[in-house]
Amino acid sequence: MPPKAKAPSFGSQDYWDQRFTTNTAPFDWLSAPEALDPVITEALGSIDDAAPEILHIGCGSSLLSQHLKTHVRRAQQVHNVDYSRVVIEAEELREMMSMNGNVVACTRWSAVDLLDYTSLIGACDLSKYSVVIDKSTSDAISCAEDVLCSLPYAVSSKQRESTDRMVEVELKEIPVHPLELMAVHLALVTKPGARWLSLSYTSERYTFLEGEPTKTEEDGTGNTGIPDPRLLWTVVEDPHTTFHP
């Protein structure tokens, strides 16, 4: 019997860097770039924001990065971010060449680790975005190992910002599921009432948002010391489609 095929290391930065180095052609996961148009249009229409900012997470080499410009007045209202600097640099150059060097006609690009809040807020302003686009990025991040988070954690669900809280507690680390941690971090950079539009392989990806939130301390952290994502996001449609804070 032949050995079982090893699953790709979707949670590894090295995997993505190698993939985007060897395969430079545009590639879209799950569906065509325009598949999310109805929910994007609905989300933008429900937001009281004359110039909404869109955060496209895990953009990769998807044509969606360029298609999103059809939903906004200015190209720079679209911010494409990815774990792999290789693909960010390649796609930014591809767009610049297609726009003949016209920076104003180009979207924004940043290499970001969504599981590291310092990386995220280093590239994205706090409470900035009205819509987050997630086209199978949650699927890839779910394949990563649990993240060891030091306590007390520097992110509070009540303050929605990073902080250097000095508390006299025993320092320790706890493992946190990567998708739960990403949900906490995305709340840092989204506006109240923002939408997180997610297209996923499975509707069971977001079970951690079900049920009642845990009791919290004054700073908004739960019993684990990490903000409870259920205090930050509410499922408003099918679990694999839309959330809002």
Contact call for residues 63 and 26 (beta carbons, < 8 A): yes
74 domain residue, yes or no:
yes
pLDDT for 186: 97
18 domain residue, yes or no:
no
CA–CA separation, 11 and 21 (whole Å): 17
36 domain residue, yes or no:
yes
Contact call for residues 119 and 147 (beta carbons, < 8 A): no
DSSP 219: T
Per-residue model confidence as pLDDT tens digits over 43-75: 999 988 889 999 999 999 999 999 999 999 999
Per-residue model confidence as pLDDT tens digits over 133-174: 999 999 999 989 999 998 888 887 664 444 444 444 456 889
182 domain residue, yes or no:
yes
pLDDT for 239: 44
pTM reported for the whole predicted model:
0.87
Contact call for residues 111 and 88 (beta carbons, < 8 A): yes
Cα dihedral angle (136, 139, 143, 147), rounded to 10 degrees?
90
- Mean pLDDT, rounded, of the chain: 86
The range of the structural domain enclosing residue 118 comes to 31-144+178-210+229-244
Domain at 82, CATH number: 3.40.50.150
197 domain residue, yes or no:
yes
Query: Could you tell me how far CA 50 lies from the centroid of its own chain?
Result: 23
Q: Please measure the distance between the N-terminal and C-terminal CA atoms of the chain and give it in whole angstroms.
A: 50
- Judge whether residue 119 has pLDDT over 90: yes
162 domain residue, yes or no:
no
Query: Looking at residues 112-126, what average pLDDT do you find?
Result: 96
Q: How many folded domains does the chain comprise? A: 1
